[in-house]
Structure 1
């Protein structure tokens, strides 16, 4: 081995020597000097967003760490600050004490996207009721298959709203107006449409949900385990605090939100969802009926039993890695049809050994989330869905099965 030969240190540049002398003359310590020279890392989300919009006006995209798709922001507007705040807040999961499976965000598409990245097994609904922001909302949410979007305001059904500009911020707000052209959808109706009899998290910007001040919305709010109201925005928060009282609710605060936790909601075990029907997912073996079925989006399908008796069957084969439950959203389209009986059977793919069978009747117009336990099973499993008219020989209707998944 060659002897170690010390290297002659490289001489400091004149500019560097002057900078060191200036700091020493000012009595500045080495750590402080180092801190002043330090700059944000290249992958810092805030820095990337600021660099993307610096000196620009117009629509720009920026790629951020941990986000599968770029974010679109309107340079010259407040979008950059909103995107940075959303990524920072969701990076800590909004400091939730539980793992959410169903999330609704009203008025903040950036937060919806960031939460989709933080909770990859959760289903989300993102609501943007201001028409001028609909295009931006679509650009940011459409790439995420787990985010369903709504461009109507939610609250008390039938409320008429108008758009005004807040003088203190320059941002747009929705306010009640009997002559307004925007009509509110009922929050409870939307939950029913998605088959959410209950949900985990609701995050609201009061500027786009003036019905928070209306006590008629309280019954629908009770479907959520936690409600987070954006602080620092006029409307809704204070009035809600006077109505969501103990013992039914517990009030709290987060750095940027007022928080209301439903006291009756106990801890829920975390469950990892494994979709069993996904047109854009991994290929699996299946047996499809010749008629009486059709896809419903990418992760669901419809079955229509034949009139005059008999059933329609669809079977899927997938690998169960210790699944102990099953969940599916059901909705029988409202029509003059008979109730439908749905049976879901599980069997070991190699031997045909029955594992479990569950049966449920659905009435026309009914929308529910059906969840049941399974014996813990490892290995390939055949799942057979059978739909039939529940009684008599009347016509069968289309039964929607949304997001069937092993848990």
Structure 2
């Protein structure tokens, strides 16, 4: 079977550093941090008192008030990002065959805000079961994909991917594979997350996974810095319109880039820790390049998982050196989580968008907050510390790894 080519024709974002693609990108290349004190709840008694929250988001810009009440915040972010991407793509929905259009959406946690609010109300109500009829539909992780498909009438493949922090990269990879195998012409894909509440922050604190650098939140996410002490939780969503190449050309679509390949592997090592030698991370990059018939010397940029955890950053660096050898020192590498924080299941979506925009604009966003070199991080690598760098990007890889040992890598390349 001859595989179809797949391209990106639309983008949309809701992030801690901007609620439009233009604002998000401008703040990325300026090195703006989205971190600040938590406003979602009183974090006085929590080890971590800061997060990368979305600012100035009004769901009624995208939904009517009745719809808003039926959706958890993670689904509201999904609907907003998807609407932006649809508008950006210029798709004529009246001319699009709805049976040829699908939705695959990633969420690692889903409606944790709804879950906590409903259980809390039950406890405070002396155990009287007065649960909302929208409790379950607001909470379940697949519901964002359902809402998106219903809004646009897309009747093709429709489901959610749930693989912790790799969720939205898996969604993108699945959508890519469906299109190139001829099962659909268009997909809305990506992911969203909204887990900045007592349960989300408290749970990650109990695992000692998050930074507690409360004295300076804007500098807390510091991938590859010797002083890094954990990730900074973020929230938001990112959406991509993937389209079969010939379909996009026929309608005169703006094309950002091509989706060249995707890799998916497992560490099969530990519940939360990465393999110390980065074996799964290495294999997933190799798989993505093999899938896309990409010569490793053509890779100019890797948007790394780079969460700012002590072990995770080292494992990923080792994986890159293992895979690329001498070429590792010719590439740009950066961790945009230093600015956005870690959007968990939505990370892969917004970081794929950063990778796509690096190709389109010839600029690599930085890894901010670096001040103290880590002797375990090869100093010859170009980790794009503190300032964006201009360069031609032919191929960019976007890495995301999740608890449970899930690894995903999506390869994007300039359109030829």
Give the alignment's TM-score, normalised by structure 1. Answer: 0.27
Give 1 or 2 for the bigger CA radius of gyration: 1
Q: Between Structure 1 and Structure 2, which shows a larger proportion of strand residues?
A: 1
Q: Between Structure 1 and Structure 2, which shows a larger proportion of helix residues?
A: 2
Relative contact order (alpha carbons < 8 A, sep ≥ 6): 1 or 2 greater? Answer: 2
Give the alignment's TM-score, normalised by structure 2. Answer: 0.26
